[in-house]
Structure 1
Amino acid sequence: MDMSVIIDPIVKLFIAILIGFVSVKAGYLSADMRNVLSKIIIKVTLPLMIITSLLSKDLSGDTAMNAAVAAVSAVVVMTVLYFLGLGTANLFRLKEPTKTLHAVLSGSGNVGFLGYPVALAVFGTEGLFYAVIYGMVNDAVFWTAGVYLINRSGGSLVGRQALKKLVNPNTVAFLIGIPLLFFGVKLPPVLNDAFTGIGSCTTYMSMLFIGMTLATIDIKSLYKRVSMIAPALIKMVIVPVLVSMLFVHFGLNPVTIGAVVLEIAMPAQTVASIVAMEAGSDEKYAAEYIFFSTLLSLLTLPLIYYIMERIMA
């Protein structure tokens, strides 16, 4: 069993985080540059990545059932994890806006930036397809309900104003991309290559943003954040193991099981720290949570991969 297929993508992300961190600490970049970087990600690179990711896939009748399993799994798992996150937030007496942010981070995963490369490396293009289906739902829920909840708890928007936040560049990208996906529409090669190239910048730009944000906080305080341990272990170990056992019991396709379970086990959604900053929420807590869960994933993803192989054997 080659663990490097899981560990290598995570290490690459940490290198980008380290570069962002060192750049600010050394005075090479200003921490204020995060504001511009976050807007470029949210308004330009991420919407293009969403559209090109959707249009690069083909929906066929042979995979419709497994795709439905992946989509339904995302909705059910994210809902359960969100409420478990609220429970742990109450347990550790977190206050708003950190409480809601904690719950959203507990429910949404880094399926695009980290999950897709891992699924492709471990299960090939078939695994990537199911990972994308899961990721579509994960991101759709995050960019609608997640963004709404973070903005509402952050106090930047209330009532109908908060509902308007549901319409953002990324939900628009989904609204454009999903119909094109179902009708089999493809972008012209030149346009697709340009959009794909720009969208591919999202992953490492987000990591740089996290590193720059971490440079503004006291990382030594991470050991005090016991509130992060329970939800991270629930999301990244306990729930994936339970889901894999359930899927095996119902005799699902091994590739579907593997791809979906690995997506469930992904660390926290990286762009949540950007959304938190834009919403006036607790961006530092978000950055710490993302850093901690991504660091933990160096251990938990190989563990989940090993456990899945044992369960499916």
Structure 2
Amino acid sequence: MLNKLQRRMLTRRLLQAIPVLLLATFSVFMLLKLLPGDVAITLAGENATVERIEEIRRLKGLDQPLIVQYGQWVMGAIQGDLSESLLSGEPVSTTLARVFPNTLFIVLYAVTLSVAVGVPLGILAASRAGGLGDKLVMVLTSVGVALPNFWIAMIFVVIFALNRAWFPATGFVSPFEDPLAALWYATLPAVALAASGMAEVGRQLRSSLVETLHSQHFRTLHAKGLPFRSILWKHGLRNVSVNLLTVISLLISRTLAATVVVEVVFAIPGMGNTIVNATLQRDFPVVQGAVLVMVLTVITVNLVTDILYSILDPRIAQQ
């Protein structure tokens, strides 16, 4: 259960999230309207009459002023109605319920890999600061940060899917249908997404640990005869836990955004692929709904992070 300070902090964060939601969805809405082409012509067909095109505009509400269209969408979203796809007629909520779990699975897989590899790298580098191990880790993490996710994804497809046939080049299996097959299909996309995450977690943890282990407090512990391993595991990691949590929180948000490109490369039926296809087809309700879900996901991650902050350091809830 949350205490009074934590509930107050959570309420404050929720209120701060409202303008973020409005700004994000409004910006996407206006940018989509700037795209060339007319969705009414696409729906009516190239040989349709002007009357038919105008009729479709009226039926779909495309003849209303932009601010009115956005206001109607917001009111519907508040009531849980994200409208329908302009092209397929399928409710947007149904589409997103089908593709969002796929994206969430890959994001969690990638973040888990990032933490599982990045944390040991950071500890290794910090425990051998200035030595060969530290320099090797810093070189590897610099390369990981520098290489873009989409390039890594394409290289992985060529090497491990096309040449070696160890993993499938495209496609996806839901973890609810077959967990082992889902891991097999998601491994290459997850590793491509996790490459920069491993490097970021390793670099940030190494920096925080080195600074912490060289502080006066830890020099005193060492002078008292405590072994370095005990200082590192029992005291050092505890002191940098808040910084590590911040890195992981930001990593989840960045990984969610990076899935847009990786899902296209691996032909994964997820949120990123859905957004790209809907944008190319000017299917505004689908893009708006997908952006809303992704922003809500990031806000949820931030709220959970704030709660964990207050548990690790109760003074944060008072700020």
Instruction: Specify if TM > 0.5.
Output: no
Larger Rg, first or second structure (1 or 2): 2
Higher relative contact order (CA 8 A, sep 6+): 1
